[in-house]
Structure 1
Amino acid sequence: ILDLNPFLTLERKIAPLDYILKDKTLEDIKSKIIEDINLARAQYVEALYHQQKLFGYRIGSRYFSVPMNELVMLYTVKERPGSVTMIAKKRQAEFPGNLNNLEEKYTNLFCCDKSYLVNLDHVTSFDAQARQLQFNQGLVCKVSFRKARDLTKLMKDRES
């Protein structure tokens, strides 16, 4: 005896997308499946778009997070090895870390120099001659010679 719990669907937070009858023609079934796959993909893309991406860091035993769209840059200074400074729209923090690990984890950030990871969404201008990035809030950072070409290409791609 099969015990079907009607609430199992709700508990597992799943829902049917469509109901395809077998008595339809093969062409009708095929078009319904394609339509359902396109609908599922559109719903997935919509969910990804609305899901807020966060940048997370830890200071001691406390965990913090900042919405990725507020993060401006991460940088290190030689005087404090093993320490990363984060600048966001509404806060600034220093925490233990490594830019190489953060670059791997947060692929949307651009490494413009060995000491800087930046969020290009906050760049107001890029002076390719001086190899300098200008941000909102008057922040400025240098771009390495090798990264300047990549950044120029990225900025052009963003324009189009």
Structure 2
Amino acid sequence: MFHIYLCEDNLQQLNTYKQIVNNQILIFEYEAQIVQATDNPLDIITATRMNNERGGLYLIDIELNGQKERGLNLAAGIRSLDVLAKIIFITTHSEMSFLTFERKVEPFDYILKDRGIESVKKQLEEDLRLVWKRRNTIGEKMKTLFTYQIGNRIRRIPMNDLLFIETSSVPHRLILHALHRVIEFNGNLTEIGKNYPKLFRCHKCFLINPENIVSLNTKERTVEFANHNKCDVSSRKIRELKKMLS
């Protein structure tokens, strides 16, 4: 699900942007939703922190509640939390566009309100279509990569290198075993399984890549990989895994 956030202190304009976005979602059947629409930047930051998915779309006014650079400060905060965020400024302050480069917030677009609502609507609709198109293109490429996050850094490895992921003795920590390295990161096996359907949950503690299995021992209920690591397989998963490998 693609998450969209709006921050605008003019209630009428906020509702207009919501309508434009929701109409585009309905017309083009985007798997997207507005998760926060507010005049309070803290609400946006809180919602971003609570959302595990990265790469959201943020529509922000630069001047909020009489504070001329509050939207810029919000964008900087978003960028520190979501390095993949798409940030669109909708503002009357054309003279402040250079500050977005100084603050290194990397805006996707800079829409000027004083050109009229029809111009804003047209530009916003074009941006939504382009963001969605690029998201789908990246999504196809990402199917061949496994993405994980350590701190604020997004990292990726080829799916072909991934052997298995196991739970750690530390709560909410996972251990990824690849062909030539072992990586620890925060995560949840169930969520990863949903996002990467090619991986197989062979045991409550293991999520494996069937393409890298060297052998399956049905008597010992284990699978072995090219680096000689082994994973347990639960008794109720043996038949399904055996069928998958045949």
**TM bracket, shorter-chain basis:** 0.5 to 0.7
1:81 correspondence with 2:174: no
For the pair shown, the structure with the greater C-alpha radius of gyration is 1
Provide the rounded CA distance (Å) in 1 between the counterparts of 2:227 and 2:171: 26
Residue 52 of structure 1: CA displacement? 6.6
Provide the rounded CA distance (Å) in 2 between the counterparts of 1:51 and 1:101: 16
Give the equivalent residue in structure 2 for 1:125.
215
1:61 correspondence with 2:152: yes
1:19-69 Cα distance to aligned partner (Å, 9 max, x none) = xxxxxxxxxxxxxxxxxxxxxxxxxxxxx7x88711000011111100111
Q: Is the 8 A contact 1:54 1:65 kept in 2?
A: yes
In structure 2, relative to structure 1, the CA distance for the partners of 1:148 and 1:67 (3 Å cut) is: same
Provide the rounded CA distance (Å) in 2 between the counterparts of 1:124 and 1:99: 22
SS of aligned partner of 1:108:
coil
Letter in 1 for 2:147: G
In structure 2, stretches of 5+ residues that fail to align are 1-129, 131-139
In structure 2, relative to structure 1, the CA distance for the partners of 1:99 and 1:51 (3 Å cut) is: closer
Runs of at least 4 residues of structure 1 off by over 2 A? none
Higher relative helix content: 2
Provide the rounded CA distance (Å) in 1 between the counterparts of 2:142 and 2:209: 18
Residue 70 of structure 1: CA displacement? 0.7
Aligned residues between the structures:
108
Residue 122 of structure 1: CA displacement? 1.1
Tell me which of 166, 185, 209 is aligned to 1:95. 185
CA RMSD in angstroms comes to 1.8
Residue 90 of structure 1: CA displacement? 2.3
Provide the rounded CA distance (Å) in 1 between the counterparts of 2:142 and 2:149: 22
SS of aligned partner of 1:148:
helix
Letter in 1 for 2:229: L
Tell me which of 141, 147, 150 is aligned to 2:231. 141
TM-score scaled by structure 2? 0.42
TM-score scaled by structure 1? 0.63
Give the equivalent residue in structure 1 for 2:205.
115
